[in-house]
Every structure is written in C-alpha cells, then in structure tokens.
Amino acid sequence: MRVFVLGNANRQGVKEHAEQLLPFLSQHCEIVAFDLYQEKDLSSLTADVALVLGGDGAILRAARQMGYRQTPVLGVNLGKLGFLADLTPEELRQCFPQCVAGDFRVTHHLMLEATIETPQQKRTLLGLNEVLLHTGPSFHMIDLELCVDGEAVTRFSGDGLIVSTPIGSTAHSLSAGGPILGQELSAFVITPICPHTLTNRPVVDSADKVYTIALLSNSADPFLIVDGQEPIPITVEHRISVRRAPVAFGLVKVPGRSYYQTLRDKLRWGTHPNYRHEPPLQQ
C-alpha cells in the first residue's frame, strides 16, 4: 500500500505522534509523502490512502492540499471532537494491518465549488465543509438575496448565510441551527445565521442545483469564508455561486465504525443527562 502521511504540525502533539507512528507505518506500507507543513505538491504523486493526523480541521486542510486529485482519507483524531477523524492512534495500530490487506471500504462525499465573481475578475475555491457569508466589523446586519437555479428564493437581513455539504452539516451549520445530514447524501443545506425574521429556516435541497448569493447593500463589511480559511471581503459587486465540485472526497471506513456510532459517541446520544451539582468555575 502507498500512503500519504499528512497533518498540521502547528497543532500540539501532531508532530510527536507522527514521529512515533513512522516506524510502525514503514513496516506495513510505502510512505510516498510525509508532509505536516502543507509544503508538498501532491498533484504529481499517487497513493492508495492519505493518513491524516489531527482533527477534522487537518482533514479539511488535506482535502484542500490534494485539490482536484483526491486520495481516500483515513483520519486519526488528535483533536477534540473529530466527526471525520474518528480513530485514535491506538485504534490505528490495531486496524492498519487490516487496511493494508484491503479490509476497508471507501465512502464518497460531496465537495463544493464557490465561484466569486465581479465584472473585473473571477475566482473559484474548492471546499469540503461549507461556504460562509458573514458580517464583519462593524457587525451590522447584512441584506442578502438567495437564488437557486436562477430563481429568487428569499431576501433577508441577518448575520449571514451558510451553504453546507452533508460532511459540513455537523460543523458551523449545526451550531447555527441546521440539520444533520447523512454524509453520503447528494444535497446542500442552506442555513441562515440569526435572520431578522421568524419565518426563515434551514432548507435542504439538491446538490445538482446552483446556489447564488448576492449582497443587496454595502451597509456592512461582510466576508466570504470557505472551510474556515482566508476571509474574502464581499461587496454588492460580487456574485457568489455554489455548486457541486467535479471531484468527490473519499473517506476510509474500517470495519466496526459507522456514522451513527460516531454521532452517538461525539454527541453523546443515548446518555442520561447529568443533573449533579457541578463546582463553580475557578476565577
């Protein structure tokens, strides 16, 4: 098996865990690229699996690095929650020989393209989680219009709007009141952020449609952010289109791990509330 070893060395513990795992991995596979600083161009390299050390943020980072030549990702969680990176280093050591023997499956997931266009220029960004349009300083409400396949759907004022993939439905969209989607669905979630109306609600619609967002006034200074990366200033001159990307994200699933098991573990579904008195926080 040929493997990329990727991650974010700026996160505490990632570099140390990677160095500890290298001798073990070298016994079982060929390491094609070892890059914890996102320095290598992977476009000319091929591998069977990309082993990503960190949390979900590290997986988003790896997906961007791989660009339009995606390699199935096996995530090792060294972060906090980890909906995508759900194996511990110890679990990786236990199951990796099975993976080398081919005892795993790959699930394929929707990625998005966000095109930011003005009369002068056009820019397209690849994303896995979501496109976020959010108010910036001075944090006044922004006025938005959303069109789907050219049809005007809604206008509202609020703090912003999220267009999320199923993978991203458990990220910012969930915190903003959006639903959890099955990870392999072909759909987008449109989630308003603090809309100044009680009638706007999250909507789930087909990923085969094009979602266009326009700013209706320059009363605030909003930013567009794809997968939590660089904020791009947006004005009334910009048109933002979100559509299905021509490439899919692959996620390695080992036997005994399912999406509902991950939701139960991470969101603590099925556990009883803890009504015990907790000591006050230390000042």
**Catalytically active residues, by annotation:** 56
Spatial CA neighbour of 181 closest among 153, 200, 162:
162
Spatial CA neighbour of 250 closest among 72, 101, 23:
72
With 0-12 / 13-18 / 19 or more C-beta atoms within 10 angstroms meaning exposed / middle / buried, residue 2 is middle
Spatial CA neighbour of 84 closest among 110, 58, 47:
58
The β-bridge relationship of strands 49-54 and 2-7 is parallel
Token pair in block for residue 110: 């929707």
CB 116 within 8 A of CB 214: no
The β-bridge relationship of strands 223-226 and 130-134 is antiparallel
Spatial CA neighbour of 188 closest among 142, 149, 235:
149
Distance of CA 13 to the CA centre of its chain: 22
d(CA 243, CA 208) in angstroms, rounded, equals 7
CB 155 within 8 A of CB 192: no
Helices then strands, counting H and E runs in the chain, come out as 5, 18
- Whose structure tokens read 């995606």? 70
Residue 260 to residues 68, 104, 107, 257, 267, Cα–Cα distance (Å)? 29, 18, 14, 9, 10
